Amino acid sequence: MTKAAPETREETNAARDVQRRYDRAARFYDRRTALMERFTFGRLRKKLWSRVPTGRVLEIGVGTGANLPFYPDGAEVTAVDISERMLERANKKAHALGVDVQLVQMDAQQLEFEDESFDAVVATCVFCSVPDPVLGLTEAKRVLRPGGKLVLMEHVRAENRIAGKLMDWLNPLMVRMSGANINRRTVENVRAGGFKDMTVESHRGIVRLIEAPKDV
């Protein structure tokens, strides 16, 4: 396998839009998400990271560093994000917690790592914002070693027909407000990214914990 082909102008522009949106949001992001972290995501992050193997680990979309307290002992973690401002806040949090992590600005759609570089790739609430999620997931698979594992926590489109249609209708507004698509079919996108087998847990109807090994 080889690195993804260079992005088209449209893909580059879409990535820059995401970067600018999260640069603007970085200052207030933790306050904006505090309630959700307290009542849902914090518990699920701990559960998710308990399933991440030690070794070389890549976190895609580290954001302001919400996952830093849960990194497994002994893991060599590299964490990337498209937003420089988000990374600045993650860096401060890592220093405050004493967490050893390499933080790098990078687009999930164009990972600058060699093939088969990591034992695990982890992302939480990220592929709702990547402009081309299948491309990003294909890149995640590329950098995983054979037998390595993709581990995700993602919110997805509701399976209920009416709720799903409502999410479709609201999605353009939510993207403008927060940058996140609320109607992504991420389980299907993981499969389209080349992962054949996976286990999926549903939480609160629209949150999924996904584990997908890369074929040996």
Residue 96 clears pLDDT 90, i.e. is over it: yes
Question: CA-to-CA distance for 40 and 44, rounded, in angstroms?
Answer: 7
- Among 191, 129, 179, 117, CA closest to 154: 129
pLDDT digits (tens, 9 = 90+) for 42-86: 999 999 999 999 999 999 999 999 999 999 999 999 999 999 999
pLDDT of residue 5: 56
> Could you tell me the two tokens for 140?
């995640």
**pTM for the full predicted model:** 0.93
